[in-house]
Structure 1
Amino acid sequence: MTKINGEDMKEIVRNGYNLGKYAKYFGRNDKLNNFEKKYFDILVEKLPKNSNILDLGCGTGLPYDLYLADKGHKITGIDLAENHVLTAQKNVKTGTFITGDYTKHKFDNGSFDAVVALYSLFHIPREEHQAVIAMIYDYLRAADALLLITTGVEDTGETEIDYDFCGNVKMAWSGYGADKYIELLESNGFEILKSDNEADFGGGDEQLWILARKI
């Protein structure tokens, strides 16, 4: 595995999504698949009406933010890639979307009923992951506020580089194994409500979906 510093890794991620043909390779319509819908339906069922939801690494806003917005919730999203944010603003017109590094851009503590972080944590150096989880805990309003997050299943080491991502652009990942993320969440004040490997339900990638609540 390659060793690079955190800022260089984030720049690789930002450029990769701005330059790569993301819509061609990973473009989504506004529909959740059956696996995703089970998680989002549990999330929505537990949320108060008109909840404030923060999406860390919001991408294009499809399908997740649009689904939540259509349920009447207020969406705030942040993403490194300017192209993603511009697209999200078009896809989810009621949402507020910000270009930035969510490890640095600070939101008010206690201001969100739920935080969603799907397919984004692994684009941050893994030595920062515990701090991100602690940050999310602070952003959540009160006990029973919710976190829906995806993590890797296998330990990828400090940094994994792909030179052929989304049409021959460079991309970077960093992560621990699944058990480590359960440990990090529980040691930072979360109770795990549900977790599954997406690949076990027909998904293409080995990704652990975790729904947790603040305790």
Structure 2
Amino acid sequence: MPDRIAEHYERHAHAFDASRRKDLVEKGWLDRFLLGVPKGGQVLDLGCGAGEPIARYLIDRNRELTGIDASERMITLARTRFGRHRWICADMRGVEVEGPFHGVIAWDSIFHLRPEEQAEMVVKVARLLAPDGAFLFNTGAARDETMGCQFGEELYHASLAPAEYRALFAEHGLIEVAFVPNDEATGGRAIWLARKRR
């Protein structure tokens, strides 16, 4: 279940990092995200892992990173690689960080939370974003709770329905920029890009 996600990634931190760090399937989405984040802008990466490849891509394009991940091993790797940036070992659901941020990214992370917790995270992100700030994240294509498999172990995933995310956007000052329910370029992920109202 969701509360075991941190233990899973802690156990498999080095294997995950080795398999993930060279695979930038999300490049096109990151480029769209960066259109809304000025150079030198502050980006919050929720579920940042070891900082590869996403944080590196953003750092190489002159953005300042704050990364949050529940795996101490992942955060240690990120700190070793990008010591000038801020890395916090914590559960994204409870950690308090000071905004505003010009962009927030939650790639392959909040979909490990229960649907109601995902709703709370959308509200939290809306509060942390600067006006016109960008929010990039991925979910399922429909309301669902399911078990996937990674490194031979079950791994929990969940999603709200698209209409529920849109209702949260409307209530909390976010505007949908794009939604692709089955993006072939990223292996079939359902991807959202939103921005904060000015």
Same fold (TM over 0.5): yes
Identify the TM-score tier after normalising by the shorter chain: 0.7 to 0.9
Match of residue 5 from structure 1: none
Secondary structure of the residue aligned to 1:58 is coil
Please tell me the root mean square deviation across aligned C-alpha atoms, in Å.
2.1
Say how many residue pairs are matched. Answer: 195
- From 64, 77, 98, give the equivalent of 2:67: 77
Which has the larger strand fraction?
A: 2
Q: Distance in 2 between matches of 1:182 and 1:60?
A: 31
Q: Distance in 1 between matches of 2:150 and 2:30?
A: 28
* Residue 146 (1) aligns with residue 131 (2): no
Q: Distance in 2 between matches of 1:39 and 1:161?
A: 26
Letter in 1 for 2:196: K
Secondary structure of the residue aligned to 2:101 is coil
Match of residue 127 from structure 1: 116
- From 140, 162, 181, give the equivalent of 2:165: 181
Q: Distance in 1 between matches of 2:28 and 2:2?
A: 33
**Shift of the alpha carbon at 1:136?**
0.6
Deviations 1:128-183 (A, max 9, x none): 12211111111112x211111111113323xx345x521x3342222223343233
**Shift of the alpha carbon at 1:60?**
1.6
Matched-pair contact (CA < 8 Å) for 1:151–1:181: no
Q: Distance in 1 between matches of 2:6 and 2:73?
A: 9
Aligned 1:56-205 pairs, distance under 5 A: 56-108=46-98, 110-141=99-130, 143-157=131-145, 160-162=146-148, 164-166=149-151, 168-197=152-181, 199-205=182-188
Matched-pair contact (CA < 8 Å) for 1:113–1:140: yes
Secondary structure of the residue aligned to 2:186 is coil
* Residue 208 (1) aligns with residue 190 (2): yes
- From 11, 16, 24, give the equivalent of 1:22: 16
Structure 2 alignment gaps of length 5 or more: none
* Residue 40 (1) aligns with residue 23 (2): no
Q: What TM-score do the two structures reach when normalised by structure 2? A: 0.87
Matched-pair contact (CA < 8 Å) for 1:122–1:173: yes
Residues 1:161 and 1:42: Cα distance change in structure 2 (over 3 Å): closer
Q: Distance in 2 between matches of 1:68 and 1:13?
A: 25
Matched-pair contact (CA < 8 Å) for 1:69–1:94: no
